[in-house]
Amino acid sequence: MPTGSNRTDHDAVLKEFYLPGARTVLNNEIFLLTQMEQNTEDIEGREAVLDINIGRSQGIGSRAELADLPAAGAQVHVNQRVKLKYHYGRIQLSGQIIRDTASDSGSFTRAVQSETTGVVRDLKNDVARQCYGDGTGVIGTASGAKTGQTFPMAGASAQTLAQLGIGMVIDIGSAAATPADIADGVVITAINRTTKVITVSGTIGTVANGSRISRNGAGGTGATQSELTGLKAQVAASGALFSIDPATNPDWASYVKTSAGAVSEDMFTEVDQEVNMASGEQIDLWITTSAVHRGVASLLQADKRFPGTNELRGGYTGLDMSSVSQGMTGANTTSMVYDKDMTETGCAYGISTNRFACYSGSDWEFMQEDGAILNRVPNKDAYEATLFAYKEIATDGRNAHGKIEGITTS
């Protein structure tokens, strides 16, 4: 006689069926991570270990016949220990759902599917957002004072507003080091995407122009940083990265072209050449917004050049920029893509992908150290499961990348 499914069966459904699907989505649909080498070897404990070459040997020089040889020199290396960041997705099922579907594993599977696919999609979007941030968790900033429970975000792009949603729990802070001193755990109740006004419920202090909005509990800097160290922090001309400051180690700086103006081939060629002169590398991937991507495509077509596409890792394709960014040298293949999660208006990042890696202390897994994936929620008739991964992205050559800011398109 058939018997009803039990919690062990439900654990198996999550582990054997949904986990592979979640891994496929999270590993293959976060674009920037698919373009980086996955490094699981250079991990010690909860840290990634990077060997960074920050100085060249000066034991070189030309001499006259029989003159003394140059004094011996050496490459300057530093080992940097970069803390992994911890990423989570939780689902919860009431005891009633589990009991109501105890004799119908198909019904339970549908309930799990709804929760699992939803949290995987949302976690994917959040990690993709982090790839382009500065690590402090900031999604956007207020543009003025609050009125009651509302505040404006006039400078936010459509992509930025899309990263906020009804029911999202957020913090509001006055600085990177104080991400929740204005509001801690308030809930977004309305978003006017036309007027760019946000309404929240909960206790909220004095909001001003520049107040920083982040996901609840995810903001912070330095020892309190929780999110990935995204491109905004890694590809920069100033500011310390992994405890190395270009103010004292000038080779530890990306080339950044500011106030670039109208989109042109020359701006991409300039950055590519500056990167090559500084690092010996050549940019092989440009990542930008949809507006800049359209502007480049239109520019090439206006010059009677109809760009093809290049195949990238993960099944993606990109606009062929090989002749543009390298000034017609064709030394290697260069592609341009746009990513919906890139929210910096008028910006393009030029990446040497071989100098970036995604360091992983764990792939996407369900917590099951106690032997069960589904665990009781204290004081509730409910069970929950938690999906997690320990990952961080890092470059071992900051000067191998470049950035263009202030690109204007018609």
Q: Give the model's pLDDT for residue 322.
A: 80
273-321 pLDDT, tens digit per residue, is 999 999 999 999 999 999 999 999 888 876 656 567 788 887 888 888 8
Confidence of residue 1 (pLDDT cuts 50, 70, 90): very low
334-384 pLDDT, tens digit per residue, is 999 999 999 899 999 999 999 999 999 998 988 988 888 888 899 999 989
Instruction: Indicate the average pLDDT of the chain.
Output: 88
Using the predicted structure, report yes or no on whether residue 36 has a pLDDT greater than 90. Answer: yes
Residue 184: other Cβ atoms inside 10 A: 18
47-82 pLDDT, tens digit per residue, is 999 888 877 778 889 989 989 998 988 877 788 899
354 conformational bin, left if phi > 0, alpha if psi -120 to 50, beta if neither? alpha
DSSP 281-294: ----EEEE-HHHHH
Q: Give the model's pLDDT for residue 8.
A: 67
H helix intervals, 163-248:
231-234
152-187 pLDDT, tens digit per residue, is 999 998 889 999 999 999 999 999 999 999 999 999
Whole-model pTM? 0.89
Distances from the Cα of 324 to the Cα of 53, 276, 299, 374, angstroms: 29, 15, 11, 53
Q: Give the model's pLDDT for residue 7.
A: 58
Under a CB-based contact definition with an 8 Å cutoff, are residues 334 and 326 in contact? Answer: yes
198-237 pLDDT, tens digit per residue, is 999 999 999 999 999 999 999 999 999 999 999 999 999 9
Q: Which of the 8 DSSP states describes residue 245?
A: -
Kindly tell me the burial class for residue 268, based on how many C-beta atoms sit within 10 Å of its own C-beta (0-12, 13-18, 19 or more): buried
